[in-house]
Amino acid sequence: STQIQLVSRPAGWPVPQDFRTVTVDLPALAPGQVRVRNDFISVDPYMRGRMNDVESYTPPFALGETMTGGAVGRVVASTSDQFGEGDLVVHALGWRDLAQGPAESFSPVQEVPGAPESLYLGLLGMTGRTAYVGLTAVAGLRPGDTVLVSGAAGAVGSAAGQFARLLGASKVVGSAGSARKVELLTGRYGLDAAFNYKDAPVREQLPAVIPEGVDVYYDNVGGDHLEAAIDVMNRDGRAALCGSISGYNAEHPAPGPDNLHMLTTKGLTLKGFTVGFYQDRFPEFQQKAREWFTAGRLVYDETVVDGLDRAVEGFLDMMGGGNIGKALVKI
């Protein structure tokens, strides 16, 4: 099995030298185990946090061990009665071409007709679940609400923008970091308005694109975006704090929002979450996402790099904004 390992902890932006590729001989399957050939592995922003030696909601990656993370593939050998050859599974064993272990480490995928395998890592998988629970369980989206999504052309953001519309938002606005992404947001993804946060400070651009004010803010970015959103949030507004990628590669903490007093005067709710807190909502998500996908009401984009040897490149490209929709590595 070919695998990618973290060998040093990056300061600021990771570099290829922080990783190495190793080849490992896999032992014969013990009873109750499966071997899976990965078709896609996921590259995700949270992985940057795990490269630091700091306990977060997931423990840090161990140096000299294979990078873990979401992956999808098919069973090629099994000594477990839970799985047979050819079954499609998702798992968290990450950056390797072959994954092997106890059957409990793998989850069966209920395939949706017409959906490619990669979608079980994206729109119909963890990223879709994150978008859905953030809007519903965390922010309490109600029909008629106006919604702002930051990082709206990324994996979670492109799902959140579409779900918000399907859940009855009266207006959905998104931000992204290039003219091409902004065009996709109002075209392909059906958002009502969008802006490029690199054109001018978010605080200057936001009032014009959402003069009605924001009832629900889905925050993937933090920093300047969160500060600007608080300015334009309506009375009783709710923000789901999903991520803060603007700070993930920073060597020093950035100064905080300067307008937190408005939480009081506007009665705002800003609630952080990780998708795992809301497992009770997953069946509801699965049902809704399948229904919307099958009815042709969802679109998705993927940015795929080819080959496990390009996993680090794919990760760094995603962190820098090179992706539209879900960033994946095809094995």
Question: Which residue stretch of 29-37, 58-66, 267-275, 280-288 sits at the interface with ligand NDP (rule: CB under 6 A)?
Answer: 267-275
> Amino acid identity, residue 320?
G
Using CB under 6 A, pick the residue from 8, 68, 80, 178 that binds ligand NDP. Answer: 178
Using CB under 6 A, pick the residue from 136, 246, 328, 331 that binds ligand NDP. Answer: 246
Using CB under 6 A, pick the residue from 275, 305, 308, 328 that binds ligand NDP. Answer: 275
Tokens at 130, concatenated: 């994150």
Give the 3-state DSSP-derived string for 100-121, with helices as H, strands as E and coil as C.
Answer: EEEHHHEEECCCCCCCCHHHHC
| Cβ 321 to ligand NDP shortest distance, Å | 3
Site for ligand NDP contains 156 (CB under 6 A): yes
- Short-list 68, 138, 131, 142, CA closest to 105: 68
Tokens at 289, concatenated: 């996402």
| Cβ 86 to ligand NDP shortest distance, Å | 29
Q: Give the whole-angstrom CA distance, residue 149 versus residue 186.
A: 13
Max Cα-Cα span within the chain: 64
Q: What is the DSSP string of 288-300?
A: HHHHHHHTT----
Q: How far is CA 87 from CA 45, 94, 100, 244, 331, in A?
A: 28, 18, 14, 36, 17
Site for ligand NDP contains 122 (CB under 6 A): no
Using CB under 6 A, pick the residue from 20, 37, 46, 88 that binds ligand NDP. Answer: 46
Question: Which residue stretch of 139-147, 165-173, 258-266, 318-326 sits at the interface with ligand NDP (rule: CB under 6 A)?
Answer: 318-326
| Cβ 35 to ligand NDP shortest distance, Å | 28
Q: Give the whole-angstrom CA distance, residue 242 versus residue 129.
A: 12
Of 129 and 165, which has the nearer Cβ to ligand NDP?
Answer: 129
Site for ligand NDP contains 245 (CB under 6 A): yes
Site for ligand NDP contains 44 (CB under 6 A): yes
Of 100 and 175, which has the nearer Cβ to ligand NDP?
Answer: 175
Site for ligand NDP contains 130 (CB under 6 A): yes
- Rg (alpha carbons) of the chain, rounded to whole number: 20
Cβ 183 vs Cβ 171: under 8 Å: no
Pairing status of strand 326-330 against strand 33-42: antiparallel
Contact residues: ligand NDP, CB under 6 A: 44-46, 127, 130, 151, 153-157, 176-178, 181, 197, 220-221, 242-246, 273-275, 318, 321, 323, 327
